[in-house]
Structure 1
Amino acid sequence: MDKLSFLLFGVYPYVAVAVLLLGCWARFDLAQYTWKAHSSQMLAPRHMRVASNLFHVGVLFILAGHFVGLLTPPALYHHLISSAHKQMLAMVSGGFFGVLALVGLTMLTWRRLTNLRVRKSSTFSDIMILLVLLVQLLLGLATIFASTEHLDGSVMLLLGAWAQNIVTLRPYAAAEAIAATSLVYKAHVFLGLTLFVLFPFTRLVHFLSAPVWYLMRRYQIVRQRA
């Protein structure tokens, strides 16, 4: 294992998480009014709500699948399902929800790039993050095709070992585990970590928010008649 691999997959994960946590804290503390998605649904046809729902549902299920799949030790599931069957389940479910997210994101990206009113209300980061997410989804779907070449689940075990070693603060073991995987997996992991870095500085922060503040407000807006 070379030094670059150790830096990218042993050290960079901690840097990405640190930027994510500190960046979100700083933005919420110093710029709360920017903690929103800057919705542009009012500037686009109603069918774009379908695109938004497809994207959000797909991404949420993908994130949940990655969290459970990567961080669950094999000893906890091997008495229920084999590594090969777990990989097949991940390929089918990940493919389904990945396609949902890709269809929704493609529609949203096309709208933001081609709708004049939406484009004028967009910032550089709005467009940039959509394109990065699009590349990441395509890489994720590409890993499904790559997984057909090793249906025994061996690569899934290596990726799981990488994630679990990162969580247990063993960066060298993590970098060694992922070193044996192919480039498409490494690119997918690296870009995923980069999304952690970009998260606090883009519209992605709205994933952490819910409209609970309105339930606790102690005022009422009254509109006077003209």
Structure 2
Amino acid sequence: MSASLNQFFFAVYPYICLAVFFMGSLARFDRDQYTWKSDSSQLLRAGQLRWGSNLFHIGILFLLFGHTVGLLTPHWLYSPFISAGQKQLVAVFSGGTAGLICFIGLSLLLHRRIFDPRIRLTSHRTDLAILVILWVQLCLGLVTLPFSWHHRDGGTMMVLAEWAQNIATFRPDAALMTGIDWPFKVHMVLGMTIFLLFPFSRLVHVWSGLATVGYAFRPYQLVRSRRLNVPRRGA
């Protein structure tokens, strides 16, 4: 990758994707609330959906949480308890297991959406496109596992975490990604692209899932009875 492309994808592109992710989601919620849904096809055929959806959501939620914590947690915070190399091994085994579970679930969902005639006819192009992109992203993530195993000292993980933390604190440093192996780079770029496409796909229903957490901790609704002044008979 040339220096200019490296600078664009790892210093400029992340902020483009994040801006579209947040502003696009807000605009869609404000203008097109009737499209804010998961577009479930459960009524057409539920059998394969049950297995595929459960495996996919279990795996993807673990991966999202693991990537977020792994990349954005400063090294000094966990270094008294676990070394960078040990954290790398934990990420390989736990992430590999979750990635495989998610891959199986997503493959079932993708097969169902492509090869079931009724579901294919009722699917939007964006539904199929986002599933294909997620499937490719999972494949890339699984491809990175041998490279992560080769760098068991945790050095690559430390570089990726430093890059992500610099992005989060508005101190982008694309030079950090110069010596990173290509599967990690492609995986990161496609991951950012998913954030870019997020507001224009069915993935927006993830916001509703997060909102249910706040709903669970809502204050109690106070309901007071009010006596009605009903005139007596004969009054």
Match of 1:184 in 2: 183
Q: What RMSD, in angstroms, separates the aligned Cα atoms of the two structures?
A: 1.6
Give 2:163's aligned residue: 162
Deviation at 1:100, TM superposition (A): 0.6
1:46 aligns with 2:67: no
Per the TM alignment, residue 113 of structure 1 is displaced from its structure 2 partner at its CA by: 0.2
Aligned-pair identity (%): 47
Alignment map for 1:99-138 (pairs within 5 Å): 99-138=100-139
> C-alpha distance in 2, partners of 1:163/1:8?
13
CA contact (8 A) 2:48 2:108 kept: no
Structure 2: gaps of 5 or more residues = 222-235
Amino acid in the other structure paired with 1:194: T
Alignment of 1:1-226 (within 5 A): 2-171=3-172, 173=173, 175-210=174-209
Q: Contact 2:48–2:112 (CA<8 Å) still a contact in 1?
A: no
Q: Deviations over 1:152-201 (max 9, x none)?
A: 00000010011001011111x2x111222010000000000000000000
Question: 5+ unaligned residues in a row in structure 1: which ranges?
Answer: 217-226
In the TM superposition, what whole-angstrom CA distance separates every residue of 1:22-79 from its partner, at most 9, and x where no partner exists? 1101100000000001000111142421210100110001000001000011111111
Count residues with an aligned counterpart: 213
Contact kept? 2:113, 2:120, Cα under 8 Å: yes
What TM-score do the two structures reach when normalised by structure 2?
0.87
Runs of 4+ in 1 over 4 A off after TM superposition: none
2:71 and 2:161 in contact (8 A); partners too: yes
Q: Which amino acid aligns with 1:95?
A: G
* Alignment partners' CA distance in 1, 2:128 and 2:48: 20
Q: With the length of structure 1 as denominator, give the TM-score of the two structures.
A: 0.91
Max radius of gyration: which structure? Answer: 2
Distance in 2, Cα, partners of 1:38 & 1:142: 31
- Output the amino acid matched with 1:177: L
Alignment partners' CA distance in 2, 1:183 and 1:190: 11
Deviation at 1:126, TM superposition (A): 0.5
1-side partners of 2:22 and 2:196: how far apart?
9
How many Å separate the matches in 1 of 2:148 and 2:120?
38
Equivalents in 2 of 1:9, 1:136: separation in Å?
18
Give the residue type in structure 1 aligned to 2:102: A
